[in-house]
Amino acid sequence: MKKNRILNVLMFINLVLIICQLQAQNERSLFFLPDIPQRKLVNPAAFPDHRLYVGVPILSSLKMGFENTLCYNDFFIRKGDSIYFEQDYFVNNLKLNNNINFDLSLEFLSAGIKIKDNYFNFRIADKMNVNTAITKETFQFFLYGNGHSAFLGKDIDLGGNGLNFSYVREYLLGFSKMINPQLSMGMNVKYLNGIANITSNNFSFLLFTDPVDYTIKMKSNVMVNTSLPNKSDFFDIFFNSENRGFAFDVGAEYKYNEKLSATLSAVNVGFVRWKSNLKNYETLDTTEEFVHEGFPLEDYFDSKTLASSALSKALDSIFYEIGIPTNKKEYRTSLPSWVNINVNYQPKPSHHVGLLYQSRFIKNQNWNTFTLAYTYSLKDKLHLMFSNTFSKSTLFSPSAAIGANLGAFQIYLISENFVAPFTFGNAKFYSLQLAINLVFKDEKILDQP
């Protein structure tokens, strides 16, 4: 029985290793902070008041965050002064479909300039996204093994799972134009340099475990593509130009009157074509049944330490045995994209109230949220923003942001779901963004009533 659980263990270890080796969420608060150049990343039609800005290298925008359906307390239980992972406790906390998402963005260079009714901007940034979808039954199968009474002698369908990881470098050129005093429109065009990727178009198994000898009979429907650079080759990781892609952002902003305005934007619509460091896993015949008898787990440990090279060879062997051979084929992936609908109401010059609907489109999942925000502005010197985001995982995600203009220096800090560090065990969503810009104002605009 022990040997026949090895397939489950190896596949689960592989999934965990992938997720752990990759190393939050989209900007919502930027919609509600006036005069921030980075607003054009979520609203390409934004027309900032400043005449010129230059992002301080590396510090011009740093963002990280996560947005999940699970939290720390769903995994671990406290007993006295100790913390334990208990299978039954964890499984009882699972939803039928579970998502784990992680984002990281680092801006190296950025700048923008206004020329009459036109605004031009550019930036260079690295962006990383990890998006996973894992069903409750899949977790149960990996945790309890195929020899558990819930799986013996039954057909088990392990479908609806997905892992998508992407690390790209983005080169962006943006343009927005003031069509008239009420309407502005804009677009960002992006050239993408793909650095690393794992994407699963299909990852489904139909399994039957014999109740007598625990042999696994299996049908698979798998298509997993990877482009992973050589860890020891610095240039292969950061300067690989073979994986190319393109994307765009587009938006429009309409001011109904001095108090009411609305924005519509589509962000990060595009793709990357992966051509280097390829490895693909694809089922040859989804109707063919394979029989697997297991592997001895001890063969993949050296001095009680997991031998990653032996594990990799074992996984390739397993995949080949069950009709999923490896090959090297070029492939294309779509980017995580989202649509924003934003309405802002300004009853008084210092007070802003805003509402944002955001729909994110990720492979294997669609994520919809509503954000309600209030911003207090002290002329053009200081902006304080408070908001709450309502999502399918939680109705309470309070956020705070501050933007300050200190002479030519502009600093802003955004903490979405700022209570998360204090309630870490129950946090399912958190995002932190910091930026420092050099901003040069257009005095003519500031003198307008």
DSSP 3-state percent helix, strand, coil across the chain (nearest 5): 15, 55, 30
pLDDT value for 245:
95
Please check whether residue 397 is in contact with residue 431, taking contact to mean a CB–CB distance below 8 angstroms.
Answer: no
pLDDT value for 189:
98
d(CA 292, CA 314): 13
pLDDT value for 45:
94
d(CA 375, CA 349): 11
Residue ranges of domains in the chain, CATH in brackets: 3-23+25-446 (2.40.160.40)
Please check whether residue 380 is in contact with residue 49, taking contact to mean a CB–CB distance below 8 angstroms.
Answer: yes
Tens of pLDDT along 13-24? 343 333 333 333
Tens of pLDDT along 330-380? 999 988 888 999 999 999 989 999 999 999 876 555 678 899 999 999 887
pLDDT value for 210:
84
Within 8 A by CB and 6+ apart from 7, the residues are 146, 216, 292, 294, 295, 318
Longest dimension (CA), the chain: 85
pLDDT value for 271:
94
Kindly list the averaged pLDDT for each block of 10 residues, start to end, along the chain of length 449: 43 37 54 88 89 86 80 84 85 86 88 94 91 87 80 84 89 96 96 92 83 82 87 67 93 94 95 92 84 59 54 64 81 90 93 93 72 91 91 80 90 85 77 89 48
d(CA 127, CA 390): 25
Within 8 A by CB and 6+ apart from 103, the residues are 24, 25, 26, 63, 64, 65, 66, 67, 127, 128, 129, 130, 431
pLDDT value for 132:
85
- Tokens 């392990």 label which residue? 158
Q: Give the CA angle between residues 205, 207, 209 to the nearest 5°.
A: 155
Please check whether residue 337 is in contact with residue 268, taking contact to mean a CB–CB distance below 8 angstroms.
Answer: yes
Please check whether residue 365 is in contact with residue 99, taking contact to mean a CB–CB distance below 8 angstroms.
Answer: yes
d(CA 46, CA 178): 9
pLDDT value for 20:
34
Q: Give phi and psi for 312, each to the nearest 5.
A: -60, -45
Q: Could you tell me which of 33, 103, 17, 43 has the C-alpha nearest to residue 68? A: 103
For residue 210, what are its two tokens?
A: 């014999």
Question: What's the alpha-carbon Rg for the chain, to the nearest Å?
Answer: 25
pLDDT value for 401:
92
Which residues partner with 123 through β-bridges? 110, 172
pLDDT value for 269:
94
d(CA 38, CA 26): 12
For residue 290, what are its two tokens?
A: 């394979």
d(CA 166, CA 272): 10
